[in-house]
Amino acid sequence: MNYVALKMLFGDRAKYLMLLCGLTFAVMLIVQQGSIFWGLMIWSQSSISNLNVPIWVTDPGIAQVDEVKPIADTAVDRVRSVPGVEWAVPLYKGLLRARLSNGEYHQIILAGLESSSLIGRPAEVLEGRFEDILQPDAVALDQWAVERMGGPTVMKVGTIFELLMRPSKCARIASLTSGISSGKSGDY
């Protein structure tokens, strides 16, 4: 039986080549789709892995990483009171719209850090001083966000843009960083 199968396979070169081409294409599609899946998984978890903290405490109703539902200050105090916990700080993350001076609108991810420790700050600052973020209305922008919002000629340290969370609330870029949030996906 094996002899007949091999004779049918190798006997017709055109069918054999088409079979090899079909298998090669199928393997390429499997690898490509696996790569897309892996990239999406890295993208979706990078907003928390880039902050490099070992344990996250969230509201029990959170189903995914990007949901924004703040926990109460009393919950932060309860976490701090657990034996073995050295520190616990709240982290804010939310979606906002920004309007640039040229009138363009962009959706941004705004992440807030606890001001006394700046735990969760980006590891690499490309331009400016990250400590300047402690000034009123100061923000740090991720390199990917700079490219998405007009490039380094438009979005540079000192540039002011409007945050549409409330009327006439402006933000000033204090520093440019690398790898703040979603796999180079957002801004501070």
The model's pLDDT over 3-55, given as tens digits with 9 standing for 90+, comes to 877 777 777 888 888 889 999 999 999 999 999 999 888 877 776 666 667 78
| Domain residue ranges in the chain | 2-49, 73-178
Three-class DSSP category at 1 = coil
Which distant-in-sequence residues (6+ apart) come within 8 Å of 61 by Cβ?
Answer: 69
Q: Helices 13-49 and 2-11 meet at what angle, rounded to 10?
A: 90
Reading phi first (left if > 0) and then psi (alpha if -120 to 50, else beta), residue 70 is in beta
- Taking residue 66's Cβ as centre, other Cβ atoms within 10 Å add up to 14
Verdict on whether the full-model pTM lies above 0.75: no
pLDDT digits (tens, 9 = 90+) for 159-187: 888 887 666 678 888 888 876 544 433 33
Rounded CA gap, 174 and 127, in Å?
9
